[in-house]
Amino acid sequence: MIRTLSYSLFAFLFVCLLCSPTRAADSDYQQAMKALGSNDFVNALHYFESAITDDPDNLMYSSEYRQVAIKSKDFDRSVSFFEKLATTKPQSANVHLNFGFAYVDKIPVAGSITQVILANKALTEFTKAVELEPNWINLYTRGMSYLFWPKIFNRAPMGVADLEKAMKIQVAGPKKNYYVKTYLALGDGYWKTDQLEKARAVWQEGLKQFPDNQQLKARVDHQGDDLQKIIEANLDPNKRVDTDLRELWTSSQN
């Protein structure tokens, strides 16, 4: 009886131990959202950090944390936070992904040379994420990241390789709204590597899948310098890249 009770108690404690970080994380997340609701960015960041520390793989916590860091222009805090987290959780692909995004979030406010340094650091983290988990989001993110590099650095072919893999993953599974991004990016990658026919084919295929997408339409409808302007505007390091990942958990299937 006592032995049975001991086993039961042990099992209960074990389950509690498993659950408690998530529960605590959820509680902190709720506090963070509450603080955010009253524009209290300092407390929001604090609670998000607690939540992420307890649940580092949670993409939603990390993504929303970074959006608050962007709003409060506290880019260094975000970078520093993920840097520490990546040392304690080196095997978490999601931590490396968000660490990379923290660098990306800072790029528009940085000087032109610092932008290069930040982009390179982001790429290092995205590579770690791909190596740990070569899933759609990691491949798409790194692939897209390569495309931002000026042509002279010859990184676009590596971006195309990642995006082709991301495309393979997405066509093999159920359709998601955000998959339109791969059609855009892969086409841009082909364009950037002087494969215009392949670019057009990908954009046209994307348009079949997502007929209302204006960005795809614009690419299909334009040529030459006009097309160049559209693509380069999309890859301008001085413009903020949308690194909000909420589409991943809010996107419905078409």
d(C-alpha 172, C-alpha 236), whole Å: 32
Task: Work out the angle at residue 69's Cα, subtended by the Cα atoms of residues 67 and 72, and round it to the nearest 5 degrees.
Answer: 110
Q: Smallest gap, in angstroms, from Cβ of residue 120 to other proteins?
A: 4
Residue 112 or 253 having the CB closest to other proteins:
112
Smaller CB distance to other proteins: residue 21 or 108? 108
List the one residue from 8, 84, 153, 168 that touches other proteins (CB under 8 A): 153
Question: Measured from the CB of residue 97, what is the shortest distance to other proteins in angstroms?
Answer: 20
Residue numbers 109-128 binding other proteins by CB under 8 A: 110-114, 116-117, 120-121
Q: Does 80 bind other proteins (CB under 8 A)?
A: no
Residue 129 tokens read as 């994420």
| Rounded-to-integer distance, Cα 245 and Cα 58, Å | 11
> What's the distance, CA 7 to chain centroid?
43
Work out which of 73, 151, 229, 240 binds other proteins, going by CB under 8 A: 151
Q: Which is nearer to other proteins, 111 or 224 (CB)?
A: 111
Site residues for other proteins, window 234-253 (CB under 8 A)?
Answer: 236-238
Stretch of 96-104, 147-155, 168-176, 198-206 lying at the interface with other proteins (CB under 8 A): 147-155
For other proteins, the closer of residues 154 and 223 by Cβ is 154
Report the nearest approach of other proteins to the CB of residue 59 (Å).
27
Contact call for residue 20 and other proteins (CB under 8 A): no
Structure tokens, 154: 């010859």
- Residue 141's alpha-carbon distances to 3, 39, 106, 162, 180, in angstroms, are 52, 30, 16, 9, 14
How many angstroms separate the CA atoms of 121 and 134, rounded? Answer: 19
Task: Report the residue number, 90 or 150, with the smaller CB distance to other proteins.
Answer: 150
For residues 211 and 220, what is the distance between their CA atoms, to the nearest angstrom?
A: 12
Dihedrals phi, psi of 186, to nearest 5 degrees: -65, -40
Please report whether residue 152 would count as binding other proteins according to CB under 8 A.
yes
Distance, CA of 93 to chain centre: 11
Q: Select 95 or 122, whichever has its Cβ closest to other proteins.
A: 122
Instruction: Specify the residue for token string 């958990």.
Output: 249
Both structure tokens of 244: 């909000």
Q: How far is the CB of 33 from other proteins (least distance, A)?
A: 33
